[in-house]
């Protein structure tokens, strides 16, 4: 990827991250992400465009509202920077000239849409323990459409979504019967269906494996540090999101390595 492509993807990522912040703030409350325009969370004053430039406005205003001096969360610039970093990484892993090569248009769009959804779901789950339906349902539909016109194909997307939903639903039921607690919600089931719609079924197993290892490590770590018990509810969507980001970037490398070294 050329430095120019990287710069364009980075700026685009900052702008998309700015919109993701609106989604993260409004979707769990059932509010529209299109109207009204951005407002200060404390005093509800509409934010002028010059105070709404990703990262820069937050730095310039010292993380405060121009009108009421209320604190604007660090989450805003962090989500914008994270989205930019993930977008650039997807361009690097895809290789070639993703912005001028027409054959890479669909694979790039697929990677960027999935990445944006994963960032939004991760932060929303962290803040509210919820994975809003508008994000997961939009994601399943977008994943199927992009797979249908891409290398994976419609059946590849449908198979990935079905296996993702079925696998996590089965784990959820087994856990419920064995431990008597609801370890994860249906939001997690829909989220893995979404991931499968974008990445296909082999990647679903990579995501399940990575997220379980990550979730178990964090759960055991918190228990050892006395910050929780084995019954503490963890927002599993965070681990699904991180695992899916890894799988979308290096899933094929992991699968090839597994098939090549572990099974032979």
Residues at the contact surface with Zn ion, assessed by CB under 5 A:
40, 42-43, 65, 67-68, 70
Q: Would you say 70 or 95 has its CB closer to Zn ion?
A: 70
CB of 43 to Zn ion, least distance (A): 3
- Please choose, from the candidates 257, 7, 248, 208, the residue with its C-alpha nearest in 3D space to the C-alpha of residue 113: 248
CB of 39 to Zn ion, least distance (A): 8
- Please choose, from the candidates 196, 182, 190, the residue with its C-alpha nearest in 3D space to the C-alpha of residue 143: 196
Give long-range contacts, CB 8 A cutoff, 24+ apart: 231-235.
Answer: 231/181, 233/129, 233/183, 235/125, 235/126, 235/129
CB of 61 to Zn ion, least distance (A): 10
The pair of structure tokens assigned to 19 is 């919109």
The pair of structure tokens assigned to 147 is 């797979």
CB of 44 to Zn ion, least distance (A): 7
Q: Would you say 69 or 179 has its CB closer to Zn ion?
A: 69
Q: Would you say 42 or 52 has its CB closer to Zn ion?
A: 42
Count CB neighbours of 5 within 10 A.
20
- Please choose, from the candidates 166, 158, 148, the residue with its C-alpha nearest in 3D space to the C-alpha of residue 110: 148
Q: Would you say 18 or 241 has its CB closer to Zn ion?
A: 18
CB of 54 to Zn ion, least distance (A): 19
Q: Would you say 51 or 188 has its CB closer to Zn ion?
A: 51
């Amino acid at each position: 990827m050329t430095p120019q492509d990287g710069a364009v993807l980075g700026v685009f990522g900052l702008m998309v991250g700015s919109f993701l912040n609106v989604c993260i703030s409004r979707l769990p409350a059932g509010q529209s992400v299109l109207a009204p325009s951005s407002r200060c969370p404390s005093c509800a004053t509409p934010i002028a465009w010059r105070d709404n430039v990703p990262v820069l406005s937050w730095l310039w205003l010292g993380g405060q509202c121009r009108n009421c001096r209320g604190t604007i969360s660090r989450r805003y610039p962090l989500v914008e920077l994270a989205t930019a970093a993930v977008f650039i990484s997807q361009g690097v892993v895809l290789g070639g000239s993703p912005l001028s090569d027409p054959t890479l248009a669909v694979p790039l769009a697929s990677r960027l849409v999935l990445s944006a959804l994963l960032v939004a779901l991760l932060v929303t789950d962290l803040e509210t323990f919820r994975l809003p339906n508008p994000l997961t349902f939009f994601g399943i539909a977008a994943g199927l459409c992009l797979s249908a016109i891409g290398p994976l194909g419609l059946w590849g997307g449908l198979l990935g979504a079905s296996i993702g939903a079925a696998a996590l639903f089965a784990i959820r039921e087994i856990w419920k019967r064995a431990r008597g607690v609801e370890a994860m919600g249906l939001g997690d089931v829909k989220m893995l269906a979404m991931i499968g719609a974008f990445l296909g079924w082999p990647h679903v197993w990579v995501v399940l494996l990575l997220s379980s290892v990550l979730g178990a490590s964090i759960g055991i770590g918190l228990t050892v540090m006395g910050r929780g018990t084995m019954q503490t509810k963890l927002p599993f969507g965070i681990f699904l999101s991180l695992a899916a980001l890894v799988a979308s970037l290096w899933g094929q490398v992991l699968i090839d390595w597994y098939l090549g070294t572990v099974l032979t």
